[in-house]
Amino acid sequence: MRKTYDLEARCLMFAIDVRKFIRHIPKTISNIEDGKQVVRSSGSIGANYIEANEKLGDKDFLLRLRISRKEAKETNYWLQVINGSNEFDKNMKEICKQLANEANELRLILSSIINKTRK
């Protein structure tokens, strides 16, 4: 997983990395449904961050950032569900763990922006 300091680009790379990971998990009924959830929420992080940057005002900016942060938290949850409900090899478990960590880092970054904006 690659890191970048441009948050829009980082969110985009994260959504792409999640999609690449999902392509490699077993196609069980639960994985398909959980995969849909994590694909949606991971893409929504960046989409809402972009919307926040095209704000209509401070309230809109904060609302979009909060939605983006919520989606990061949800993405982390679904990745943990996928990781915990599959018998992955060590490499796949590590990739899933790294993705969950990145979702959490994005959540923390968004929280920091929200807290600084409110002051």
Q: What is the CATH number of the domain that holds 97?
A: 1.20.1440.60
Structure tokens at 81: 């569900």
Q: State the pLDDT at residue 55.
A: 73
Query: 3-class SS at 54?
Result: coil
Q: What is the span of the domain harbouring residue 20?
A: 7-118
Residue 2 lies in a domain: no
Q: State the pLDDT at residue 2.
A: 52
Q: For the chain, 119 residues long, give each residue's pLDDT as a single digit of tens.
A: 555 569 999 999 999 999 999 999 999 999 999 999 999 999 999 999 999 998 788 899 999 999 999 999 999 999 999 999 999 999 999 999 999 999 999 999 999 999 998 76
76 CB neighbour count, 10 Å cutoff: 22
- Nearest one of 73, 97, 96 to 24, comparing CA atoms: 96
Residue 1 lies in a domain: no
Q: State the pLDDT at residue 1.
A: 52
Residue 96 lies in a domain: yes
C-alpha angle with apex 85: 79 to 91, nearest 5 degrees? Answer: 65
Angle between helices 90-118 and 7-23 (to 10 degrees): 150
Q: How many structural domains compose the chain? A: 1
Residue 114 lies in a domain: yes
Hunting for tokens 């792409």 — which residue is that?
A: 16
Residue 74 lies in a domain: yes
- Nearest one of 34, 43, 61 to 106, comparing CA atoms: 43
Q: State the pLDDT at residue 32.
A: 97
pTM for the predicted model, two decimal places: 0.91
